[in-house]
């Protein structure tokens, strides 16, 4: 088949999908998909030393993860995120989000599915997502170097794994 006019044909397909999406958003009789997932694992508070700014010695910045993620990822994260002990100082800074490593553990092969909203086909991957906050463990740690070490440890932990990264952010209020 000729590639001539292929962008126009693709535009027509995507325009139909866009119209179905707009119809979905404006449908007032639509029932939200609330409560369809599993229960959330308990949240664990962590003490983290941020990459982007200095803090007082002995003080950590608050980060969180779930118990499920802590179980899977704690050995890879190591001392970059510790569970605070009784009496240790943990600050909560408004607008601060620590760096996060996000692990996807795939289960089996992908399947072709059709979107209920747009009608387009896509590959659906079965698996579980985990995310864990982390900070620096030494004064000279660089953010991406720390992530690279965590990523290497997580990939070595099993097959069919993907690891991504969310950078530390701080909004000055």
Per-residue pLDDT of the chain (173 residues; tens, 9 = 90+): 567 778 888 888 888 899 999 988 888 777 777 776 777 788 999 989 989 888 877 788 888 999 999 999 999 998 888 888 777 788 888 888 999 999 999 988 889 999 988 989 999 988 999 999 999 988 888 999 999 999 999 999 888 899 999 999 988 77
In-domain check, residue 159: yes
What is the per-residue pLDDT for 70? 93
Token pair for 165: 């990264």
In-domain check, residue 108: yes
The total number of structural domains in the chain stands at: 1
In-domain check, residue 160: yes
Q: Minimal CA–CA distance to 83: which of 101, 97, 95, 69? A: 69
For 110, list phi and psi in degrees, rounded to 5.
Answer: -80, 155
In-domain check, residue 128: yes
- Cβ-count burial of 118 within 10 angstroms (0-12 exposed, 13-18 middle, 19+ buried)? middle
What is the per-residue pLDDT for 139? 83
CA 64 to the chain's CA centroid: 13
The residue count of the chain comes to 173
Secondary element (H or E) of residue 150: helix 143-156
Token pair for 166: 């969310």
Token pair for 36: 């369809």
In-domain check, residue 20: no
Q: Minimal CA–CA distance to 13: which of 24, 1, 21? A: 21
In-domain check, residue 76: yes
Identify the domain containing residue 80 by its residue range.
37-170
Residue reference for tokens 């209920």? 116
CA-CA-CA-CA dihedral for 74, 80, 86, 89, to nearest 10:
-150
In-domain check, residue 32: no
Q: Is the pTM of this model over 0.85?
A: no
């Amino acid at each position: 088949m000729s590639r001539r006019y292929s962008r126009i044909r693709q535009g027509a397909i995507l325009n139909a999908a866009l119209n179905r999406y707009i119809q979905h958003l404006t449908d007032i009789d639509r029932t939200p998909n609330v409560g369809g997932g599993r229960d959330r694992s308990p949240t664990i508070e962590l003490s983290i030393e941020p990459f982007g700014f200095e803090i007082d010695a002995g003080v950590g910045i608050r980060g969180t993860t779930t118990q499920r993620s802590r179980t899977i990822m704690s050995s890879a994260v190591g001392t970059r995120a510790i569970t605070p002990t009784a009496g240790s100082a943990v600050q909560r800074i408004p607008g601060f989000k620590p760096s996060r490593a996000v692990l996807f553990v795939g289960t089996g092969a992908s399947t072709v599915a059709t979107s209920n909203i747009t009608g387009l086909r896509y590959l659906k991957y079965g698996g579980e997502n985990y995310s864990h906050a982390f900070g620096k463990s030494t004064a000279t740690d660089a953010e991406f170097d720390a992530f690279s070490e965590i990523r290497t440890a997580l990939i070595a932990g099993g097959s069919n794994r993907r690891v991504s990264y969310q950078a530390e952010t701080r909004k000055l209020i």
